Amino acid sequence: MAFDPVLMIMQPRRIDEAINSLKENIDIPKVWFRAYTEPQVMAQMNEYIKETNFSHYIVMSDDGVVSKEAADTILKYGEKVENDVFTGWMNMHIEPDGSFSKISTVTQGTLPSINDVSVGPQREEYPGWLTIEWVKHQAGFIQTSLANFAMSIAKREMFLKFPLMTWPNGCSSDHHWSFRLQQSGVAVWTHPDAFIKHLRQGWAPWRHNWLVGKVNPETIYEGKWRSREHYEEK
């Protein structure tokens, strides 16, 4: 089957800088899942994957700014994944002075299990976050434990085998998916050139331009790309 990917964007917020980067730098079909809660958007994406037949699906959060270089890197290496997952990586957050955090979203080792489903995994429970400088200076592929939905790409069969879902607390879907992948021996890879700027401000939840509960949830198919079989104009 030819490489035929689709980008699925979770959009609980409207963040124009991130939206514009996806529109300008990624020339593949896109589906925007707008204003859903996290459990709802997981269910919506799972249903979309079942109903369509793209070769690869890419999950993207709404607060990442994707450069052309990062997009091209992820698509190039994502096309080659067979029984693994490829993902972009990010700075953990933006500091109050506007600089990047020193740590990245790349972590190695065993992901934490969930002991208290009311709060989900805490950052300090992860096996250690690698610094941005360390990741940038690696020569090639890096294995990471977390597919943090920074253009995380896998074949359709992978998503059917490991559906997207949250923990009972209704969040941490990236951890939930990554935890099950790791427990089943599925490797997650990234690359220094797959860096995506993370706009999150500090450690606290970022409710900038929040849409959930303020507008009706909707699924938006960009341009004519309604499904692989039916290329309908909007």
Dist CA 75 CA 86 (whole Å) = 9
Dist CA 101 CA 132 (whole Å) = 8
Residue among 156, 179, 155 nearest 166 (CA):
179
Q: Average of pLDDT values for 159-177?
A: 92
Is residue 233 included in any domain, yes or no?
A: no
Is the pLDDT reported for residue 226 higher than 60? no
Can you tell me whether residue 84 is helix, strand or coil? coil
Is the pLDDT reported for residue 40 higher than 80? yes
Is residue 217 included in any domain, yes or no?
A: yes
Say how far residue 170 (Cα) sits from the centre of its chain: 17
**Per-residue tokens: 139:** 């020569």
Is residue 16 included in any domain, yes or no?
A: yes
Which distant-in-sequence residues (6+ apart) come within 8 Å of 34 by Cβ?
Answer: 11, 211, 215, 217, 218, 219, 220
Burial 22-60 (b: 16+ CB within 10 A, else e): beeebebbbbbbbbbebbbbbbbbeebbeebebebbbbb
**pLDDT level of residue 234 (50, 70, 90 thresholds):** very low
Q: Give me the pLDDT at residue 173, please.
A: 94
Is residue 77 included in any domain, yes or no?
A: yes
Is residue 210 included in any domain, yes or no?
A: yes
The per-residue pLDDT for range 62-75, each reduced to its tens digit, is 999 999 999 999 99
DSSP 102: S
The per-residue pLDDT for range 75-123, each reduced to its tens digit, is 999 999 999 999 999 999 999 999 999 999 999 999 988 665 556 677 7
Q: Average of pLDDT values for 137-148?
A: 97
Q: Give me the pLDDT at residue 68, please.
A: 98
For residue 164, what are the domain limits?
5-93+100-111+120-221
Dist CA 149 CA 43 (whole Å) = 16
Q: 81 and 186 in contact (C-beta within 8 Å)? A: no
Is residue 232 included in any domain, yes or no?
A: no
- Indicate the number of domains in the chain: 1
24-33, 179-188, 195-204: lowest mean pLDDT where?
195-204
Is residue 227 included in any domain, yes or no?
A: no
Mean of per-residue pLDDT scores for the chain:
91
Burial 106-144 (b: 16+ CB within 10 A, else e): bbeeebbebeeeeebbeeeebeebbebeebeeeeeebeb
Quote the Cα angle for 65-221-191, to 5°.
Answer: 35
**pLDDT level of residue 183 (50, 70, 90 thresholds):** very high
Q: What is the CATH number of the domain that holds 86?
A: 3.90.550.60
**pLDDT level of residue 204 (50, 70, 90 thresholds):** low
Left, alpha or beta for 202 (phi > 0: left; psi -120 to 50: alpha)?
A: left
Q: Average of pLDDT values for 190-204?
A: 89
Q: Give me the pLDDT at residue 43, please.
A: 98
According to DSSP, the residues that pair with 188 across neighbouring strands are 85, 144
Is residue 226 included in any domain, yes or no?
A: no
Is the pLDDT reported for residue 59 higher than 60? yes
Residue 195 CB-density burial (10 A; 0-12 exposed, 13-18 middle, 19+ buried) = buried
User: What percentage of the chain has pLDDT greater than the value 70?
Assistant: 89
Is the pLDDT reported for residue 56 higher than 60? yes
